[in-house]
Structure 1
Amino acid sequence: MRKVYLIGFMGCGKSVIGKRLSFATKMPFYDMDYEIVKKTGMTIPEIFESYGEERFRDMETEFLRTFRDESCIIATGGGVPMRKENREIMRKSGLVFYLNAPFRDIWRRISTDRNRPIVQQSTRADVEKLYNDRKPHYFNNAHFKVETERRTLREITDYMAFQVGRLKGDK
């Protein structure tokens, strides 16, 4: 196993848990959105405004195709598993964890975040519909579904680190 991919809806905890999992497994952590921002020199809202969502999605796919070949943890963007090519790349090159969080928790975290163009351009009902539309793609792509409700960050991280170690042969 080369890579560990964290998938799930925006605000489900991919970046926070990815950093903790990196510490626990001694594997480097990369946030896909941050890497795209760094490469383009533009914020996500600027990319959406200048090029549109479809071009941003192309950047995500390009990231998956070309990102360094090393064992690492990658927090993907919430829309990454919507593309068949992305799902195939992730499943072939690593282990995929779906962080399943209830919509009410997600909405609490993302509703005022100015760096989320989809949230800023949509109503709560629109975002909840998107959440429900994407959920089957997350479930069907993941090797592991991780329930985050009523679990501490430590419990979630420990479980994931155990699974990564087990599959690497460390445990």
Structure 2
Amino acid sequence: MRKIYLVGFMGCGKSMIGRRLSYYLKLPYYDMDSEIVRQQGMSIPEIFEKYGEERFREIETEFLRTFRDERCIIATGGGVAMKEENRKIMRRTGLVFFLDATFHDIYSRIRHDQNRPIVQRSTREELEALYNSRRKSYKESAHINVLTEKRTVRQIVEYIGFQVTRLKGDSPKRS
């Protein structure tokens, strides 16, 4: 099996699902934004401020190209799937799941988040327009679409685990 990528709009649950999936499948978990912060030695807002969004998007592509060659779970940043090159890298090197959450659910989670530069400089309407414009890219990047509305974290993790196992051809290693 290759990498498991979780894609979707900011606040859709990629990090939470990724951590839980890591325990469920007994695989290492990495949060792309956290890894970039560690590598760059500055926060995402600092990277945006110092270098701009375009450079940040280049850093994301470099991450996808060069990150460890191991079986693992990666929660991607919300804008990663916008770039065709990133979609191709993820589909070639792993299994991509789109966590498809409603905008209402997402907005209730992110609206006060100080660590999301795009949220801080955008209105609700602008964020919803961004959400709608990105959905096509998330769908294009994904091998499997995962509807999250009215599903518990456990149900989502078990569903993704089932799909990974089904496509790999064996059962999850649970204790």
TM-score normalised by length of structure 2:
0.96
Aligned to 1:143: 143
Q: Tell me the distance in 1 between the aligned counterparts of 2:146 and 2:153.
A: 11
Q: Tell me the distance in 2 between the aligned counterparts of 1:18 and 1:141.
A: 17
- How far off is 1:167 after superposition? 1.5
Coordinate RMSD, CA, aligned: 0.6
5+ long unaligned stretches in structure 1: none
Aligned to 1:120: 120
- Structure 2 counterparts to residues 7-156 of structure 1, below 5 A: 7-156=7-156
- How far off is 1:2 after superposition? 1.1
* Shift >2 Å, 4+ stretches: none
5+ long unaligned stretches in structure 2: none
- Please tell me whether the aligned partners of residues 3 and 93 of structure 2 are also in contact (alpha carbons under 8 angstroms): yes
In structure 1, what residue type is equivalent to 2:22?
Answer: S
TM-score normalised by length of structure 1:
0.99
Number of residues of Structure 1 aligned to a counterpart in Structure 2: 171
In structure 2, what residue type is equivalent to 1:108?
Answer: S
In structure 1, what residue type is equivalent to 2:117?
Answer: P
- How far off is 1:168 after superposition? 1.6
Residue identity over aligned pairs, in percent, reads 67
